[in-house]
Structure 1
Amino acid sequence: MFERMAELAIRRSRLVLVVAAVIVALMGVLGAGAFGKLLGGGFDDPASPSSRARNVIDEKLGGETNLVLLVRATDGRIDAPAARRDGESLIADLKKEPDLENVVSYWDTESPDLRSEDGREALVLARVKGHDAQQQENAKGVIDDYAGTYEDTLTVKAGGSAGVSHEMGPQTEKDLVLAETIAVPLILLLLLVVFGTVVSALLPLAVALIAIVGVFAELYVVGGVTDVSIFAINLTTALGLGLGVDYALLMISRFREQLAAGASVEDAVRRTMSTAGRTVAFSAATVAAALAALMVFPQYFLRSFGYSGVGVVVIAALASLFVMPALLNVLGHRVNKGRMPWAKRARTGTPAPAPGIRTSVWGRLARTAMRRPALTALPVLAVLLLAASPLLGITFGTADERVLPEDAESREVSVSLRENFRGNDAAALRVVIDENVNRAPLASYAARLSGLDGVARVETSTGTYADGRTGPGNPALGRPTAQQLNVVSTLTPKSDAAKDLVGKVRATAPPAGTHPLVGGGDAELVDSNDSIAGRLPLAVGLIVVTTFMLLFLFTGSVVQPLRALVLNAVSLGATIGVMTWIFQDGNLSGVLGFTAQPMETSMTVLMFCVAFGLSMDYEVFVTSRIKELHDLGEDNESAVTGGLGHTGGIVSAAAALIAVSFFAFGTAEISFMQLFGLGSGLAILIDAVAVRGILVPAAMRLLGRSAWYAPGPLRRFHARFGLSEDGPVPAAQQVAAKV
């Protein structure tokens, strides 16, 4: 297969490049509209009780409040004549807005719960009309028009879910631009150091550009069919840069090596495709398999990363397997043009090592690890297990306004609601009964709910219940076919106590013959965690099975996949443990500028899948060369030391390059993107240095010949269906393979 692809690149190089240019141009036109198709949110399971409760509220009860306006008197109390006059004027204007409905305010109701305890602030609650992208656009118009100073006597700040989404979108775009501004120049500089020539350094960026443009086009198309999270863009750029550079690095390194060994340009392309091309194909398959597992989750936030992740892997691999060999064939020996002053080894065709790293160091390190496996591996394992120890205290949450900077307007609104108002209406549990309920059973149910620990009051259409007292109700909470009860608590939203209250509310006996649904932020957190926990075994099982099958097809061994899975589990445990220590426990919060909170469930799952896939990326890089030497007759020690000695510099350089693209997101203002970027970058470095450099050779030494074991039937299966290198290997190239 790879031989035929090489012949296409050799015989039709320019045609391949012209077709590729046309396709990239078309993808660029489509991709330009991607941002307009993407949405915020997506953290909830649409089939969960909380999501179903929200649907009933939207369909039968006029819609859930999603916009909270915090109105503050610039001078004095909110009840002062001037402030009251302008407040009433503000409400009149808001009620005329065609994109708003269910506008309720302190000035309408005189409810003390909508006025702050110090009397200087009041709340306006409303629902922004529309769904998905249209709702976001409507919220933007309203917030832009009313947030800020109103009539000189009032200041208005926007919060609620609409306010958070309004700020997250632009912040995501800013974070993306900043990350790319940092990552691209650093990656180019590292490529110049690694390759030592200008032409070779620019080629990987071409593959990365194709991958990124292609996935932007994919997201535009997919976003027109289903919901796609705007945060998928971040993964697209990080993975596009990283994998595009990684795959191209491997291809170019092998091509230059073959030229240095005396092969013709055509033979160098053929050998590059049958070795590095094969490695890229298998590597892409393992990464795509890990990311495809994200599609089993019902939350479109996670599914979106599956769409974009698989897309960027496939497009980066296709560009490397079709466009890159055509470029190498056209360039030939000119791939070494533009030699940099420090590239003393450029004339040999071997890429210059990364800063401070000599390729032979990895061979010597591997030899040491194989001769003293316990002495070298045990300290590394001890450090990794220590790094994983914070997992013993890990807790999970969902994204809220706290992921934004402290000076974000929607976050300031949330803080004021929590600290200055009696009970947080915006964070109330929404209990929905999707049928008609008589007044007496409804009142009895509300009274029982109001007696639960932590409940400040329960609002219904017929009355408000608190501490055994009954006050006026809110008729808007009732319809002939449905009833809504707002359970307002004094508990900190998303705390353990708040989550426990969800269970208590759901366990409270409802009116006979009814089946209430409990929604609201805390209920959504509980349901989201339960949903992800329920699908996680399936996702992990798919990753393990597909990875095992692919590595078996790649190596012909059943031991190698098991060894890879165990070492990956150790490195991932260490990575997530360190992220827990930082982001949950609050260490380095002052440096990175985030607020400590439970690990965001969806982002932790995403980081696991991405880091697992990229770890397998380097597993394939290293194992491919070890197997190549093993198949040429080398003994186990020579194959491992030779393979690592030859690929160690490439893997370390590739890891540094892709880590840069992820670490750049450490500058993000949204904290869970910091978590994702820093965690993924750290996982890559741990894998490339500790696992590939020390634990792999130590494990191979302990396994000995059994490292390549497979039962007879599976050996025959691999001989028939396993993907092997094609074509004869010229003598000069056999020598190069052993270098």
Structure 2
Amino acid sequence: MAPLARWCYRHRFVVASAWVLALVVLGVLSKTVGTAYNDSFSLPGTESTKALDLLQASLPAQAGESDTIVLHVASGKVTDPGVRERATAMLDRVATSDGVASVTSPYSEQGAAQVSRDGRTAYATVDFAQQVPDLPLDDVRQVVDIAQSVRGSGLQVELGGNAVQQLNQQPTSSTEAIGVLAAAVVLFVAFGSLFAMFLPLLTAVVALGVGLMVVGLASHVVTIGTIAPTLAALIGLGVGIDYALFIVTRHRNGLKEGIPVEESVVRALDTSGRAVLFAGATVCIALLGLLVLGVSFLNGMGIGAAVAVLFTVLASVTLLPALLGFLGTRVLSRRERRRLAAEGPHPEGSTGAWRRWADRVQRRPAPLALLAVLVMAVLIVPFASLRLGSSDAGNDPSGTTTRKAYDLLAEGFGPGSNGPLQLVAQVRTDQDRQAVASLAKQLTTEKGVAAAALLPSKPGATTEIISVVPTSAPQAEATSQLISRLRHHVIPAAVEGTSAKVYVGGVTAIFDDFAGVLTGKLPLFVGVIVGLGFLLLLVAFRSLLVPATAAVMNLLGAAASFGVVVAFFQWGWGSDALGLGGSGPVEAFLPVIMLSLLFGLSMDYQVFLVSRMHEEWVHTRDNARAVTMGQATTGRVITAAATIMICVFVSFVFGGQRVIAEFGVGLASAVLIDAFVIRTVLVPAVMHLFGTSNWYLPAWLDRRLPHLSVEPADEPYVPEERERVLA
């Protein structure tokens, strides 16, 4: 790292200009070609996918996205002549709109059941020609505009469905600004210098700008979902500021020790810069590990986040040393510069609050470790009831048309009307058709079914559709149980002895299958993540206990953070207060994304903490001193970095998107637990209890392991031209 750091320092104008040029070129390219984000995902082998494939092959007109236009009157009925005339004219226009395959009006014979019993609510079904991934949002927007044009004069018109919901996605730029502002405050408090505060922010923002534009351009080549850039911004901004903070902190400490600016920058990059490379690489590897799950939707999320992290690392090891060269000693506050001139060099971390805390942990490791474990145990309790799924429109912000449509349908027709199931049957003989017709009739009395109807089909058709409306909401556990019961008990018994094949499909079933697929693959993913972390730390610190305790603590920390998410969203303790809907399942893809991130972030803090301990152990062979000095010298920067990440992650909670808010709460709580409980209390306490066993490694294994220097110790500096620092 030293040659790269020195080159970037000495050619700082070239490096800074290259990053500015990259921003300009990518900006022009992005403006010219735009983005091609796509929310398509496939679940090969699942029943919902088989149902969709069967529809696309035999009934393509019914295989597209199906949304609803909800009509409601506060007084009178929706069938009153004046209301009916206005609504019918509007639905006729929608039927001829671009991208619309058909419209089923509540005023038609086929849609007679689409009027509520009290006559005040009705809905029309809009069948688009394509599914959401391929459906142009401009076509959806046109339908929304036409429908809402007849609002007023006592008629309320709202729209619901997956396609309409895509239009509700709100930009998060304002929440990102809040996160950056909060990070700036923390940096200023930590450094006491405006210039030192500015550097990590500028580095992270430039890297994020380049990274997001690359992600947008990559969406033309790789399938990347619309949520990916927001998630990439959340992750990239947090780790970008943190990585720069570690390097700037090491550089500032070097200056305080009397090292010249250039040499201090080189040493900072050759020590903390290596740790940043190591941590960034592990985050990218973990995120790209999502590819092995074989779910296309997650592939794009992993790629987008990994690209953002990659550019934050590149900026930290190239742009940051160049910027440090521009600022010289001004990364120190005026007070610090005056003290350095008056008192001379002074090492950092040997005194102060963190040294006193480290001494306290050394004196009472067992009680403090027990207290930390008890705190985490309390947080883990909700994790036992974790239920993965997909939140429905009932959790959309209260002012959105999708939320209003959901509430009107639930009130007029029951909550299950917001997510009907489609039973798609492949029939070949009259016996098959008779079995399917009998199944439709049987379902009307099935527990958990509010209504079931066999849809009309052409004579001799080989595909039949049964529409099933559950009594429970799409996100409810009862709906998942109904889907499972239909697939494993009701349908097999009904078609036994025939050649008919019946698949449970529809949007609700697709999301249920998505949760099932990810739940099944989660143990493998956890095993890979934990195993990789163990091996990396084993090689880095040549110890068995250090990586083993890290693996256990990472799992405890992850479980505790999931417990917070469950309490906040699944139990509804905080989501409703923030306008993020009531209680509902945790998004199915949250655990794998969070685990990959937590793996990298915890590795970051673990390396930063234990590398200092290991450095002291190598010099003194005194475990107590090594643990105490390691904690005393790193505690401030770890907690400052964690506080910045928490501010960034929490800011995304206020963006109005429940999915992003789940990531914000989960990651913020995970970082809080990791930095302030695990690294501040539990890790040093346990290492004091283990004593010299921390550093044990069998000789035969030591000979076979490669040597990896993550953050090497600084060589003593002989001050030849210390006056350069004081100038």
Query: Same fold by TM (over 0.5)?
Result: yes
Partner of 1:149: 150
Cα distance in 2 between the residues matched to 1:223 and 1:257: 42
Partner of 1:403: 395
> Structure 2 length normalisation: TM-score?
0.90
- Whether 2:163 is the aligned partner of 1:162: answer yes
Q: CA deviation at 1:299?
A: 4.1
Determine which of 531, 552, 572 is the counterpart of 1:545.
Answer: 531
Cα distance in 2 between the residues matched to 1:673 and 1:60: 37
Partner of 1:379: 371
With over 3 angstroms needed to count, the CA separation of the structure-2 counterparts of 1:363 and 1:450, relative to structure 1, is same
Q: CA deviation at 1:31?
A: 5.0
- Whether 2:585 is the aligned partner of 1:628: answer no
Partner of 2:141: 140
**Is the contact between residue 392 and residue 474 of structure 2 (CA under 8 Å) also seen in structure 1?**
no
Cα distance in 2 between the residues matched to 1:392 and 1:422: 30
Cα distance in 1 between the residues matched to 2:323 and 2:152: 64
Deviation readout 1:647-670 (Å, 9 max, x if unpaired): 111111111111110011221322
Partner of 2:309: 313
Cα distance in 2 between the residues matched to 1:254 and 1:570: 30
**Is the contact between residue 548 and residue 561 of structure 1 (CA under 8 Å) also seen in structure 2?**
yes
SS of equivalent residue, structure 1 residue 229: coil
With over 3 angstroms needed to count, the CA separation of the structure-2 counterparts of 1:627 and 1:475, relative to structure 1, is same
- Whether 2:588 is the aligned partner of 1:592: answer no
Q: CA deviation at 1:414?
A: 1.7
Deviation readout 1:350-375 (Å, 9 max, x if unpaired): 9999xxx9973222222222232112
SS of equivalent residue, structure 1 residue 486: strand
Cα distance in 1 between the residues matched to 2:414 and 2:469: 9
**Is the contact between residue 449 and residue 505 of structure 1 (CA under 8 Å) also seen in structure 2?**
no
Cα distance in 1 between the residues matched to 2:415 and 2:576: 30
Partner of 2:724: none
Partner of 2:4: 5
Q: Which amino acid aligns with 1:397?
A: G
With over 3 angstroms needed to count, the CA separation of the structure-2 counterparts of 1:534 and 1:349, relative to structure 1, is farther
- Whether 2:196 is the aligned partner of 1:218: answer no
SS of equivalent residue, structure 1 residue 475: coil
Cα distance in 2 between the residues matched to 1:683 and 1:6: 33
Deviation readout 1:72-118 (Å, 9 max, x if unpaired): 24651122222222233223222222321121111122644200111
With over 3 angstroms needed to count, the CA separation of the structure-2 counterparts of 1:286 and 1:151, relative to structure 1, is closer
Determine which of 583, 592, 603 is the counterpart of 1:605.
Answer: 592
Q: CA deviation at 1:308?
A: 2.2
Q: CA deviation at 1:208?
A: 0.4
With over 3 angstroms needed to count, the CA separation of the structure-2 counterparts of 1:342 and 1:334, relative to structure 1, is closer
Cα distance in 2 between the residues matched to 1:578 and 1:34: 41
Partner of 1:554: 540
Structure 2: gaps of 5 or more residues: 721-727
**Is the contact between residue 556 and residue 722 of structure 1 (CA under 8 Å) also seen in structure 2?**
no
Cα distance in 1 between the residues matched to 2:645 and 2:312: 13
Partner of 1:23: 22
Cα distance in 2 between the residues matched to 1:682 and 1:130: 40
Determine which of 389, 392, 400 is the counterpart of 2:384.
Answer: 392
Determine which of 396, 412, 415 is the counterpart of 2:407.
Answer: 415
Query: Superposed, which structure 2 residues align to 1:63-212 within 5 Å?
Result: 63-73=63-73, 75-109=75-109, 111-131=111-131, 132=133, 134-150=135-151, 152=153, 154-167=155-168, 169=169, 171=170, 173=171, 176-212=172-208
Determine which of 322, 327, 331 is the counterpart of 2:323.
Answer: 327
Q: CA deviation at 1:303?
A: 2.9
Partner of 1:256: 252
Query: Superposed, which structure 2 residues align to 1:678-693 within 5 Å?
Result: 678-693=665-680
- Whether 2:491 is the aligned partner of 1:493: answer no
Deviation readout 1:469-526 (Å, 9 max, x if unpaired): xxxxx237x8734222212333333323322221232232327223222112442243
With over 3 angstroms needed to count, the CA separation of the structure-2 counterparts of 1:221 and 1:10, relative to structure 1, is same
Cα distance in 2 between the residues matched to 1:377 and 1:648: 17
With over 3 angstroms needed to count, the CA separation of the structure-2 counterparts of 1:568 and 1:151, relative to structure 1, is closer
Partner of 2:723: none
Partner of 2:272: 276
Q: Which amino acid aligns with 2:436?
A: L
With over 3 angstroms needed to count, the CA separation of the structure-2 counterparts of 1:666 and 1:456, relative to structure 1, is closer
Cα distance in 2 between the residues matched to 1:663 and 1:702: 35
Identity %: 29
Larger mean CA deviation between 722-731 and 706-715 belongs to 722-731
Cα distance in 2 between the residues matched to 1:688 and 1:31: 38
- Whether 2:529 is the aligned partner of 1:531: answer no
Q: CA deviation at 1:420?
A: 0.9
Q: CA deviation at 1:35?
A: 7.8
Q: CA deviation at 1:270?
A: 2.6
- Whether 2:438 is the aligned partner of 1:444: answer yes
Q: Which amino acid aligns with 1:14?
A: F
SS of equivalent residue, structure 2 residue 104: strand
Q: Which amino acid aligns with 1:446?
A: A
- Whether 2:462 is the aligned partner of 1:475: answer no
How many pairs align?
708
Deviation readout 1:127-177 (Å, 9 max, x if unpaired): 12345254333112211232253584643211122222221x2x2x1xx12
- Whether 2:695 is the aligned partner of 1:695: answer no
Deviation readout 1:569-613 (Å, 9 max, x if unpaired): 222222221222222222234532331112222224333332332
Cα distance in 2 between the residues matched to 1:413 and 1:123: 9
Cα distance in 2 between the residues matched to 1:701 and 1:95: 72
With over 3 angstroms needed to count, the CA separation of the structure-2 counterparts of 1:363 and 1:656, relative to structure 1, is same
Cα distance in 1 between the residues matched to 2:323 and 2:244: 11
Deviation readout 1:619-638 (Å, 9 max, x if unpaired): 12212222222233352121
Q: Which amino acid aligns with 1:257?
A: N
Q: CA deviation at 1:424?
A: 4.7
Deviation readout 1:179-219 (Å, 9 max, x if unpaired): 12311222122222222222221111122013211221232
- Whether 2:224 is the aligned partner of 1:228: answer yes
Partner of 2:238: 242
Q: CA deviation at 1:376?
A: 1.3
Larger mean CA deviation between 380-389 and 292-301 belongs to 292-301
Q: CA deviation at 1:231?
A: 2.0
Partner of 1:582: 568
Cα distance in 2 between the residues matched to 1:483 and 1:648: 65
> Structure 1 length normalisation: TM-score?
0.88
